[in-house]
Structure 1
């Protein structure tokens, strides 16, 4: 128990240091308002790439207001300091040997004190500092840019799980299913409030560490243009360390156009849990309760006892299950059509995407369960402990203190 507390305390300290670097430490908790953002200043008159880390949050908000998708890929890299190698004359043969040698004696040393701030840390830092009305404004802009929205947020400062209900209430989406397209030759799109509109839900989770990016697979499934709806490790500006995204559940909706080349016939919601599912049991339980189909990326490494127990619960559930084996190259058929095994190692990307899409569509048609944001709230009441915040429209789920 004590080591767990020490880890939590260390993470909180690192997160506070992150806010200090971004110049947002005085904005916590939820002190940043919409009037602080919608101002005419030197930034709005002359936008230049950020040179200091304290400029990142304002640049992010400004680009988001302008519906500039590059807001999600902002970074400010520290200048590397290099140490020039000693000059000496070498023969061509020696030079060739040195070129292939990566030992410290022969490689030019590049010193970087620390990595730049992860773009999604900027995104989530602003979220934690924003009040409910600013969050609602930010969510509307993220939705317009076709980016995923935070649904469950693990707060590293309070160790609680937040459900930003107020920010999600006004999200609208427009689509036309194939059935509607045949009935309406004019191709009219109907705009719907997702708060009260139940749709099928496909949940993507990962068990164990993997060299394959789950979020990247998900992006390829829902976007033929490979739009980066969900940020992943191969996106511009990504680093190995991201403090504020671990345990965050994001949501997006695939909205068809009623055309033959639509990926799915009707609207489907997609949930994506960032991080290893074993470390986030409450988020996993919530996702289980609202899902129409679960898609699990299994690590290349053998599962430990805890992960085996989690997988057993997923397998024995009535919810259809699609398993992506990161360490297997072949897909194996199974007698139960709602329990699917797909190999994900060294696979042709297009073929793998088609297989995943086909199985999700089959599971959605077979297991007819639809969920809306309102139902998310009802399910969260059952599976998570709630505590009212100052805003009666938003709830916070208490996370146990270890």
Structure 2
């Protein structure tokens, strides 16, 4: 059931298809959608470019990003480009592209081999990786596990401390707890920033997940809502540094779960625990969360409390908890 402030499903899908076409046009990727951008195309385009910063146009942005990513430049997400016309577009909106939209549209355009290469390089840069790609012009999400096959990791669980040994494997073959973080409607708590703080080792803060305070992170997202990103926490075997004793998979659903029910349903099936960030919960939201109470996943509500009283001031959230 659609809530009063949410469009009907057909209108929602039509808007998303329109937004995808808008991003493809803005970035000059129309001819590569879907899955027609290859490593060979990338090599040809970059070799034809006179300099890395030859153009600040939006159409130059995808290849500049990919070129820096392939060079393992961890600052590649900070590239912010305007289209050739610095003014706002016809809708009065900024031409700046959100980094998550850029990554999402590139995976939609990349063929399977370029997707594998992008996954490997993003992993080496310690970026979160797309696990579920939101639908493009179709109706189905895309599970990206195959593109992660080349990613190998090593870690030292605490039961190997005495032997000084470690484990190594393709990350998709490793069985480990799967923890998900999602958002219900608008929420004042910075979910992705909090995840970065939790996942980063002491005094080594790293932006694993793109967040609102990063360059262009506050730009409106057109196509990235519904993207499920994952990263892994892998212990190094140092009791003073390790946050968790065993390997752990962490998933982050972008956008509101009410607009991404398919992705949310998937997460309820694969997650050991799901943390739901929310400020309030109306009837439709309470119904949605109540419908998945019988799943195997354990649910935890993350709510901002009053600074002085340490209590929840929203009756709807208290109703949900009860």
Aligned residue number for residue 18 of structure 2: 13
Matched residue SS, 1:160:
coil
Corresponding residue to 2:233 among 231, 249, 254: 254
Larger Rg over CA atoms: 1
Aligned residue number for residue 205 of structure 1: 182
| Counterpart-to-counterpart distance in 2, 1:195 and 1:38 | 28
| Counterpart-to-counterpart distance in 1, 2:166 and 2:52 | 36
Aligned residue number for residue 73 of structure 1: 78
Matched residue SS, 2:217:
coil
**5 Å matches for 1:51-90?**
51-77=56-82
RMSD after superposition = 2.4
Q: 1:264 to 1:4 in 2, by over 3 A?
A: same
Corresponding residue to 1:219 among 196, 205, 210: 196
| Counterpart-to-counterpart distance in 1, 2:207 and 2:54 | 21
| Counterpart-to-counterpart distance in 2, 1:210 and 1:113 | 23
Q: Which runs of 5+ in 2 are unaligned?
A: 313-320
Aligned residue number for residue 289 of structure 1: 269
| Counterpart-to-counterpart distance in 2, 1:113 and 1:199 | 43
Aligned residue number for residue 26 of structure 1: 31
Corresponding residue to 1:41 among 35, 38, 47: 47
1:132-186 C-alpha deviation (Å, 9 max, x unpaired): 11101110101111111111111231122111232022221111112212222xx
Matched residue SS, 1:10:
helix
Asked if 1:309 corresponds to 2:287, the answer is yes
| Counterpart-to-counterpart distance in 2, 1:35 and 1:41 | 11
Aligned residue number for residue 159 of structure 2: 179
Q: 1:287 to 1:120 in 2, by over 3 A?
A: same
Matched residue SS, 1:257:
coil
**5 Å matches for 1:124-203?**
124-184=104-164, 188-203=165-180
Q: 1:223 to 1:281 in 2, by over 3 A?
A: same
Preserved CA contact (<8 Å) 1:19 1:125: yes
| Counterpart-to-counterpart distance in 1, 2:311 and 2:71 | 44
Aligned residue number for residue 236 of structure 1: 215
| Counterpart-to-counterpart distance in 1, 2:200 and 2:55 | 30
Q: 1:215 to 1:49 in 2, by over 3 A?
A: farther
How many Å apart are 1:252 and its aligned residue? 0.7
Q: TM-score, normalised by structure 2?
A: 0.84
Q: Which runs of 5+ in 1 are unaligned?
A: 82-111, 333-340, 342-402
1:305-344 C-alpha deviation (Å, 9 max, x unpaired): 2211233345554433332113444389xxxxxxxx9xxx
How many Å apart are 1:49 and its aligned residue? 7.2
Matched residue SS, 1:38:
helix
Corresponding residue to 2:256 among 270, 276, 283: 276
| Counterpart-to-counterpart distance in 2, 1:80 and 1:281 | 37
Preserved CA contact (<8 Å) 2:128 2:208: yes
Preserved CA contact (<8 Å) 1:115 1:239: no
1:190-238 C-alpha deviation (Å, 9 max, x unpaired): 3211222101111101112112221111111111322111111221122
How many Å apart are 1:256 and its aligned residue? 1.1
Matched residue SS, 2:122:
helix
Aligned residue number for residue 91 of structure 1: none
Preserved CA contact (<8 Å) 1:292 1:320: yes
| Counterpart-to-counterpart distance in 1, 2:129 and 2:282 | 32
Q: 1:172 to 1:328 in 2, by over 3 A?
A: farther
Aligned residue number for residue 358 of structure 1: none
Q: 1:134 to 1:13 in 2, by over 3 A?
A: same
Corresponding residue to 2:300 among 322, 340, 357: 322
Preserved CA contact (<8 Å) 2:269 2:297: no
Aligned residue number for residue 121 of structure 1: 101
Q: TM-score, normalised by structure 1?
A: 0.68
Preserved CA contact (<8 Å) 2:145 2:172: no
| Counterpart-to-counterpart distance in 2, 1:29 and 1:80 | 28
